[in-house]
Amino acid sequence: MSREAGPAGPDSTESLVYDWGAAERESGRRTVSFCDETLREGLQSPSSRLPTVEERLEFLHLLGGLGVDAANVGFPGAGSKARSEVASICRGIAAARLLLQAQCAARTRIEDLEAVHAVAESAGLTIEVGLFIGSSPLRRAAEGWRLDDQLRVVARSVAWAVAHGLRVLFVTEDTTRSRPDDVRRLYLEAVRAGATRVCIADTVGFATPLGAQRLTAFLLGALSDTGARDVGIDWHGHNDRGLAVACALAAASAGAGRLHGTALGIGERVGNAPMEQLLVNARMFEWSKANLGRLMDYATLASCMLGVEIPAGQPFVGRDAFSTATGVHAAAMLKALERNDGELLDSVYSAVPAAWLARRQQVEVGPLSGVSNIRFWLRLHGYPASDEAIARILRFAKGADHVLSDEELHRLARAPGPL
């Protein structure tokens, strides 16, 4: 559903929406892909439980149907148990012929790369290694590193990975607090050694959208200046300032071709960019044709797998995402319902059509509701909207301290006579 006033027909809601961001979208047509980090970054959340290998494979099967292109399946260098689990997952990906690029994390250490290589050999699968090293002065100060030493380590580890058949995504940790010349030198060293993708990491959620745009444009320029125009750029962002989704979209607008996220934003500290929000917004920008009809399944499965509840107000997938209990909103939605205009009903008080996610708009009845809420509910559930029934329900709702459940509403709608 485009959000531009344009060539849509007179009966379409597209012709009723003026999008102040349409010109920006038109000037930056692009295709964006996605890397799901739930099975690595998500498991690092202090609130997450560790799912079984079988649960993780079920999650990966669902990912392919969503339109996600790659998935980080773990960190084999973390120990023998992690290596065994990642190997089992990769064998499962290969056996099922999932259309996902399997990715594993590794430090710029040969022993980490040997673990990833062993997994690839065991599974008979081409693996992309997310090879990372800290790039900020803060990290170097904490570790006692020198930039020249880091450059040598990067060149050696990337060359080893490429020589052993691994695809390399080179990641600079804490990029968004790093000096321009430092990150340029690190990235270009990795590309010279054979990295085919590079990743900007907003490791502590420090970036702003404008900063994300500038940094991405800077990296794009640095790669272009050296003739490395075919090297892909990823963006990996955290949500410490509540800006993860905005920064990811800003990076994409500046040239990042792949965005990282996790289900429900689950990750270290306050988490990462929620993948479901990236997918919906990319669809809004016409950067992706993701199958959003499976998004509720994705969120629900992740919630069960990780033992983390979906907040009621979570955009798109929360219980309340497409619900209203206020009278003014319900009045407009009721008029659309009475006109049998489903598209208008799905748009008049919603930025995103619920139908995209195989959901529907819901009108609830509570202490802030009016007659329209009740008429809407009664019509939707096949009850006659008599004055008596409306008055009875309204009186009960105004005296309540909560939104009424369907059970309460059914009881009130069926009750004979006045309350």
Q: What digits encode the pLDDT tens for the residues 294-311?
A: 999 999 999 999 999 999
Q: What's the CA gap between 317 and 328, in Å, rounded?
A: 24
CA atoms within 13 A on the CB side of 328: 1
| 134 bridge partner residues | 173
- CA 239-268-175 angle, to 5 degrees, is 60
Residue 417: phi and psi, rounded to 5, are 70, -175
Residue 212: both structure tokens together: 């994300």
Strand 167-173 and strand 128-134: the pairing is parallel
pLDDT for the residue 417: 58
pLDDT for the residue 29: 64
Q: What's the CA gap between 360 and 356, in Å, rounded?
A: 9
pLDDT for the residue 249: 96
DSSP code of residue 355: G
Q: What's the CA gap between 305 and 52, in Å, rounded?
A: 8
Residue 351: both structure tokens together: 């930025």
Q: Supply the pTM of this predicted model.
A: 0.93
pLDDT tens track for 333-346: 999 999 999 999 99
pLDDT tens track for 16-39: 888 888 755 655 568 999 999 999
First vs last C-alpha separation in the chain: 45
Q: What's the CA gap between 282 and 274, in Å, rounded?
A: 12
Residue 227: both structure tokens together: 């003739």
Residue 266: both structure tokens together: 């689950």
pLDDT for the residue 366: 97
Q: Which residues contact 108 (CB under 8 A, 6 or more apart)?
A: 131, 132, 133, 150, 153, 154, 157
- Could you tell me which of 328, 334, 303 has the C-alpha nearest to residue 318? 303
Specify the 3-state DSSP secondary structure of 178.
coil
Distance of CA 115 to the CA centre of its chain: 28
Q: Which residues contact 7 (CB under 8 A, 6 or more apart)?
A: none
Residues in the chain with pLDDT values less than 70: 1-11, 23-29, 417-419
For residue 354, the tally of other CB atoms under 10 A from its CB is 18
Q: Which residues contact 23 (CB under 8 A, 6 or more apart)?
A: none
pLDDT for the residue 65: 85
Instruction: Write out the E strands in 206-302.
Output: 232-237, 258-261
pLDDT tens track for 136-174: 999 999 999 999 999 999 999 999 999 999 999 999 999
Query: Under a CB-based contact definition with an 8 Å cutoff, are residues 62 and 298 in contact?
Result: yes
| 70 bridge partner residues | 35, 101
Q: What's the CA gap between 86 and 93, in Å, rounded?
A: 10
pLDDT for the residue 6: 33
